[in-house]
Amino acid sequence: MARGASSVDDPYPNRLLLEEEYKRKALAWLTGDYHQEIVRDGKTRQQLFLETAPATARVRFDFGDLQTVFAKRETRKVQGNGTVRYQGRQYAMPDAGLIVWQGQQVVLLVNDIFPETVIEVGIQERGGLRLLGRLELMDIAANSVRASQYRRDAKEHMAELKRLSAEVQRQYLQPEMRADIALERTLTATTGSLSTGESFTLTTRLERDPDAVVRQQIADAVTAMQEDNLILDAPVDDLLEGNL
């Protein structure tokens, strides 16, 4: 590539291409030039191959998958408004969906083999990279219909986050809810299942059947809560007596 490419095609004539630059250049040449070149009877290499190759050899790759494989990867932190910056410009998902990842690191998959740079965004998980969607240039402060819609979508996402946060607090910070969840978990593990009809609150169950078996079940539930590093707001004896 260094000796064969002309200075017109190579934007960096005084050095070797970087690996990412070479991969993007090779992909563009392979898919856009070599495969599409007319070689016989007015047909391209790709057309001739599809006509003559056996079915087992006709593996057709999705161009979007090839883009992902050959993309340059950059790590960015999501800002509080749901945007990331790349080369001094602000990008966001059109529906403001990236705002739920604010403050976290995401991976940008950058493809510049097209006239306009294409950027997808993903988040690294234990099983690999999960793609979230495509980014677009976004000036959220602009007085435009698009920017206004983005701000509305961002507010809706934040409202949903607050609702989910309140639900988590309700389930895990209130003593009654914490005891019920732990007790139900213990009974489910013991019996294999717990139908809706068998569900009950801890206080009601204690009033109805405060025998030694139930007390042991509650004690096991409290132990499970402690193993989950949950802090009890009441002494264990009060929990066993139903004084929540």
| The pLDDT of residue 223 | 64
CA–CA distance, 176 with 103 (Å, rounded to integer): 33
Q: Of 128-137, 199-208, 234-243, where does mean pLDDT reach its minimum? A: 199-208
Residue-wise pLDDT for 171-229, tens only, equals 666 665 556 656 666 555 555 544 444 444 444 444 444 455 455 555 666 565 566 55
The DSSP bridge pattern shows strands 43-44 and 38-40 to be antiparallel
Residue-wise pLDDT for 9-26, tens only, equals 555 567 787 887 788 788
pTM, two decimal places: 0.48
Residue-wise pLDDT for 110-125, tens only, equals 887 666 778 899 998 8
For residue 106, pLDDT beyond 90: yes
| The pLDDT of residue 16 | 80
Confidence of residue 155 (pLDDT cuts 50, 70, 90): confident
Question: Percentage of the chain surpassing pLDDT 90?
Answer: 5
**Are the C-beta atoms of 27 and 113 separated by less than 8 Å?**
yes
**Are the C-beta atoms of 129 and 121 separated by less than 8 Å?**
no
For residue 241, pLDDT beyond 50: yes
**Are the C-beta atoms of 76 and 69 separated by less than 8 Å?**
no
For residue 62, pLDDT beyond 70: no
| The pLDDT of residue 116 | 74
| The pLDDT of residue 220 | 60
Average pLDDT, the chain: 72
For residue 126, pLDDT beyond 80: yes
Query: At CA 106, angle to CA 30 and CA 96, rounded to 5?
Result: 100
Longest CA span, the chain: 90
For residue 132, pLDDT beyond 50: yes
Confidence of residue 71 (pLDDT cuts 50, 70, 90): confident
Question: Torsion over CA of 6, 10, 16 and 22, rounded to 10 degrees?
Answer: -110
Confidence of residue 108 (pLDDT cuts 50, 70, 90): very high
Q: Tell me the average pLDDT across 74-80.
A: 89
Location of structure tokens 């739920």: 100
